Chains A and B, each alone.
Chain A
Amino acid sequence: MPTDDAVERERQGAGTPGTDVTKDGLRGVRPDREAVTGVTTGRPRGGRGRRRRGGETPQVPDATFTSYYAEPVINKPVWEAPDIPGYLFLGGLAGAASLLGAGAQRTGRRRLERSSKVGAVAAGFLSLVGLVHDLGRPQRFLNMLRVFKVTSPMSVGSWLLAGYIPVAGAAAASAVTGRAPRAGAAATVAAATLGPAVASYTAALISDTAVPAWHDGYREMPFVFVGSGATAAGGLGLLTAPVAETGPARALALAGTALELATFERMERRLGMVGEVYSQGRGGAYVRAGTLLSVAGVVGAVLGRRSRVASAVCGAAMLAASAATRWGVFHAGMQSADDPKYTVVPQRQRLEQGEPATGTSTTTRTPAATTAPSEAAEA
């Protein structure tokens, strides 16, 4: 009633116009704004995207698992696109292109040799640039070479790139200028030896994390990555070399695409529920684009193998396919890190099947179990 409101305002004074507290209780109470606790109310607002700064989130977002206000269990990688997916793509391209360049040199395909070697060193260098640019403190990049740790694929990779880029550069310089052919040949062999490692170590790098879609895919990921790298290197050869020399590039792209698609399919199937991120959202879109582009590129390259233009277009499609696959893997991993479901459900399933990862559950339920280890230690 207006008069009561006026009286109330008078009583409270001009300084507190906004208060709802009266002697008779709260004004304007809406029963439905009262927080409900521990009750399923559906998925959090804003869907599958960021929800860290969300509003009211339900305690239990899904009937099959529990989480803490749908907050992710692990911290999402701070790695960013295009730096890191670009780093993955370019490393694969460089490593496989070094093999193609060495083979082209051996079989006397001069144009293919030159473009593969130049492409290899350029991609290797840009891969390193991507890695350095993504650092929180890029000026401290050289701290990567403070230690060598086999437990850190990034340490192994930094040393690999530090060795690979100079030899790939020497091989390319010799191929382009025609000078120092013996040193160039030695550098070519060195680059072709390190190349396969450069093309594959990034799979261990992303798998060696707690990101479910990356870690759980560690069995197939290296094959997906070398397949994708071979597709890219083949694509580069098709794009840059005349049709008389592109036979091996086409064959390499064909083999790479077959390997990539087969192992990717196997990985998705083996991952089960976690594998769904590779077909959903942004990650899924990139993966699908990669599949389409690589299949189209390979089919087009085989059918149009006598046409320079068709070969070049298909080569570009293969490069794009390889990049799309890496972007897809990158974003799928991010999606799996963002949703506690992918962390909690597989771990919970392991426990419920009585098969914790190391045979021992991290949770001790019975007091008796806690005495055994200390007694063993005393004995």
Chain B
Amino acid sequence: MAPVDVTIGRRPDLTGALLGDTDPAAQGGWTDHPPRMGFFTDTSVCIGCKACEVACKEWNAIPEDGLVFTGMSMDNTQGLGADTWRHVAFVEQRKPLAVQDPGVLHEGVDVLALAPQGSGTSPDEAGTTPTTPGDPGDLRWLMASDVCKHCTHAACLDVCPTGSLFRTEFGTVVVQEDICNGCGYCIPACPYGVIDQRKDDGRAWKCTLCYDRLTVGQEPACAKNCPTDSIQFGPLDELRERAGARLASLHDGGVTDARLYGRDPHDGVGGDGAFFLLLDEPEVYGLPPDPVVTTRDLPAMWRRVGAAAATLVGAAVAAFVAGRRI
């Protein structure tokens, strides 16, 4: 993908500004822009290697995010924040879906012959994946790499009072660190708990979907480094199609627990720019089951504020009328 010439128009089209399916880059004022880019994270092939976390940290020069032992399976990263832009969740369940024993011996395998195949066996050819149906085992281990969702209707961007958060030509949401004054409003606005404040720095930080790499036609560092293509990067249209096909093939294979999360452009945030294939309910992975962009209710909030302000005026007038007698 080559860098694309873009121009900023004066009057963004505001239809669908708060809800529903829309072209976020056009709404952000880009008149001529590349297709919307995003991630499709297929957790059914995630092996929990954390290469995405490492690649993200290295490329974006993110500081250390706390060296702690949490006791949460293999997850000592805990969650997304200012210094964690990719987070691999590890869920251990006594909810058998597939046996983890591949059921084959490896004596006869010629590893040298396998080498030309590349760094990993493609999911179609693998003897077993976390989703391979089989006899129930004792344990199922779910892994999922979480990231900023780059919502179609992004609450963080809506509430940012400085214009530091902006919509890029790729339809992603990025913080301009030279403008952010650390007011912290974006942090509780995010329904997913993605963005956070870097304490010693005061400003808010989150995934940029590697805006710098995108502008020169490179894919984001995490997707580049994912050895199983659990993290797929591309035009959102294409990813949505690919995810639909993947879901169909998993359902055909008997993995009826598989579901897509954030793919639907009519959900509470107008669809995620980074969406997921999950194997259990979203909250199992720490994701909200029915997130809504908080600004959906903002028109109603302003109406209420107006009514309350009028009530205050009325109370003050009444107080002076009554106050003559008291």
Contacts and interface: CB of A to CB of B under 8 A. Distances in A.
B43 interface: no
A55 B71 contact: yes
A47 B188 CA distance: 23
B273 interface: no
A367 interface: yes
A377 B238 CA distance: 12
B311 interface: yes
A359 B296 CA distance: 13
Given A154-B159, A357-B268, A374-B237, A135 B181 contact: yes
B247 interface: yes
Interface string A197-239: 1011101110111110011001101110110011000100000
B308 interface: yes
Contacts of B190: 74-75, 210
A138 B81 CA distance: 21
Interface in B270-326: 272, 278, 281-292, 294-298, 300-302, 304-305, 307-313, 315-320, 322-326
Interface of B: 19-21, 66, 68, 70-73, 75, 78-81, 89, 91-95, 139, 155, 158-164, 179-185, 187-197, 201-204, 237, 240-241, 243-244, 247-248, 251, 259-269, 272, 278, 281-292, 294-298, 300-302, 304-305, 307-313, 315-320, 322-326
Contacts of B20: 358
Contact of A136 (B95, B201, B285, B322): B201
A37 to B, nearest CB: 4
Interface of A: 35, 37-39, 52-57, 59, 65-69, 71-79, 95-96, 99-100, 103, 106-107, 131, 134-138, 140-141, 143-144, 146-147, 149-155, 158, 196-197, 199-201, 203-205, 207-211, 214-215, 218-219, 221-223, 225-226, 229-230, 234, 247-252, 255-256, 259, 305, 337, 340, 343-344, 347-348, 350-351, 356-367, 369-371, 373-374, 377
A142 B291 CA distance: 32
Contacts of B281: 66, 363
Contacts of B243: 370
Contacts of A340: 283, 286
Nearest to A263: B308
A210 to B, nearest CB: 4
B109 to A, nearest CB: 30
A74 B81 CA distance: 10
Given A147-B162, A197-B309, A77 B93 contact: no
B313 A99 contact: yes
A301 to B, nearest CB: 10
A76 to B, nearest CB: 7
Nearest to A96: B312
B184 A222 contact: no
Contacts of B315: 226, 230, 252, 255-256, 259
Contacts of B179: 140, 143, 146
B223 to A, nearest CB: 21
Contact of A358 (B263, B292, B312): B292
7 tightest A-B CB contacts, nearest first? A136-B182, A136-B202, A68-B286, A248-B323, A370-B244, A222-B308, A247-B323
Chain A CB within 10 A, most for which of B161, B163, B298, B301: B161
A294 to B, nearest CB: 15
Contact of A73 (B181, B287, B308): B287
Contact of A210 (B70, B189, B202, B278): B189
B204 to A, nearest CB: 8
Nearest to B289: A347
A210 B301 contact: no
Contacts of A356: 267-268, 290
A218 B240 CA distance: 35
B162 A144 contact: yes
Contacts of B79: 52, 71, 75
Given A154-B183, A362-B267, A37 B311 contact: no
A75 B188 contact: yes
Contact of A75 (B162, B193, B247, B287): B193
B302 to A, nearest CB: 6
A367 B253 CA distance: 12
A337 B188 contact: yes
B50 to A, nearest CB: 16
Given A204-B302, A208-B294, A351-B289, A75 B187 contact: yes
A35 B317 CA distance: 66
Contacts of B312: 95-96, 99, 196, 199-200, 226, 229-230
26 contacts: A55-B70, A66-B284, A68-B283, A69-B286, A73-B286, A74-B191, A78-B184, A136-B183, A136-B201, A149-B158, A149-B163, A152-B160, A152-B185, A153-B301, A154-B159, A155-B162, A204-B301, A209-B159, A215-B294, A229-B312, A251-B326, A252-B319, A358-B266, A360-B267, A362-B262, A367-B244
Contact of B298 (A55, A196, A208, A226): A208
Chain B CB within 10 A, most for which of A68, A146, A201, A351: A68
B137 to A, nearest CB: 12
B322 A251 contact: yes
B127 to A, nearest CB: 24
B262 to A, nearest CB: 6
A248 B294 CA distance: 38
Nearest to A233: B316
A226 B311 contact: yes
A214 B19 CA distance: 21
Contacts of B248: 367, 370
Contacts of A158: 161
Contacts of A205: 185
Given A52-B78, A256-B315, A343-B288, A74 B325 contact: no
Contact of A204 (B80, B181, B267, B298): B298
Contacts of B160: 149, 152
A143 B162 CA distance: 5
